[in-house]
A and B are shown apart, each in its own frame.
Chain A
Amino acid sequence: GAVVSQHPSRVICKSGTSVKIECRSLDFQATTMFWYRQFPKQSLMLMATSNEGSKATYEQGVEKDKFLINHASLTLSTLTVTSAHPEDSSFYICSASIGGASNTQYFGPGTRLTVL
């Protein structure tokens, strides 16, 4: 149980294009989804928190107009990197939480974004 998927697993795009990453909770309804960014050999940096049907809450220093988050349903959240540049190349990981007393986050397998 508590499986989270991400699509695509890898994406390569040209500078200036936009890329959409999907995060799905496959066997549970996620009240909250999180988006992280991980640089090589570093820890996870939380980018934003999203609750179904409401606007995402972005961490300080994260550009909300560049990293668009949509949480359309209790099983799907999307992250769109707009006008991507090489410095946006990174490993993006989502997680989903059932909420309530558990509050445990279940993580997706990640998406490797490479911007040429």
Chain B
Amino acid sequence: AQSVTQPDIHITVSEGASLELRCNYSYGATPYLFWYVQSPGQGLQLLLKYFSGDTLVQGIKGFEAEFKRSQSSFNLRKPSVHWSDAAEYFCAVGAEGFSGGYNKLIFGAGTRLAVHP
């Protein structure tokens, strides 16, 4: 069965520092991968997604993620963090059958990002 692991529950970085949030997935075939961000009391906003093609994916708000099949990872990165980036970040993988129209997502537990001034 598919699963998503976000090893870091909580990360704190200084404003202006670089950021990398880890995500590992378990999936037999080529996965459909997503990163979402959730601000307190809000729904989820899609940052970026990977379906196929170039393994380095650019998203909104200056985020990017790299798909590494050999490591079963899809880590999210940002070169310089802003205070407004403080939020909860969720990695997700499309469940089996995703490409066939059954588009259920499996979410990781999330990583809470705090940004120090």
Task: Give A residues with C-beta under 8 Å from B.
Answer: 4, 6, 32, 34, 41-44, 46, 49, 91, 93, 95, 97, 99-101, 103-110, 112
Docked-complex contact A49 and B90, CB < 8 angstroms: no
Docked-complex contact A43 and B98, CB < 8 angstroms: no
On chain B, the residues within 8 Å of A109 by CB distance are 42-43
Stretch from B21-29, B44-52, B58-66, B71-79 forming part of the interface with A? B44-52
Docked-complex contact A43 and B42, CB < 8 angstroms: no
State how many angstroms separate the Cβ of A81 from the closest Cβ of chain B. Answer: 18
In the complex, per-residue mask of B17-45: 1 if CB is within 8 Å of any chain A CB, else 0? 00000000000000010101000011111
**How extensive is the interface on chain B, given as a class?**
20 to 34
Task: Give B residues with C-beta under 8 Å from A.
Answer: 32, 34, 36, 41-46, 49, 51, 90, 94, 98-99, 101, 103-105, 107-110, 112
Docked-complex contact B103 and A108, CB < 8 angstroms: no
Docked-complex contact A44 and B42, CB < 8 angstroms: no
Docked-complex contact B103 and A32, CB < 8 angstroms: yes
* Sample (23) of A-B pairs whose CB atoms are under 8 Å apart: A6-B43, A34-B104, A34-B105, A42-B110, A43-B90, A43-B107, A43-B108, A43-B110, A49-B104, A93-B43, A99-B101, A100-B101, A103-B94, A103-B99, A103-B103, A104-B46, A105-B46, A105-B103, A105-B105, A107-B44, A109-B43, A110-B41, A110-B43
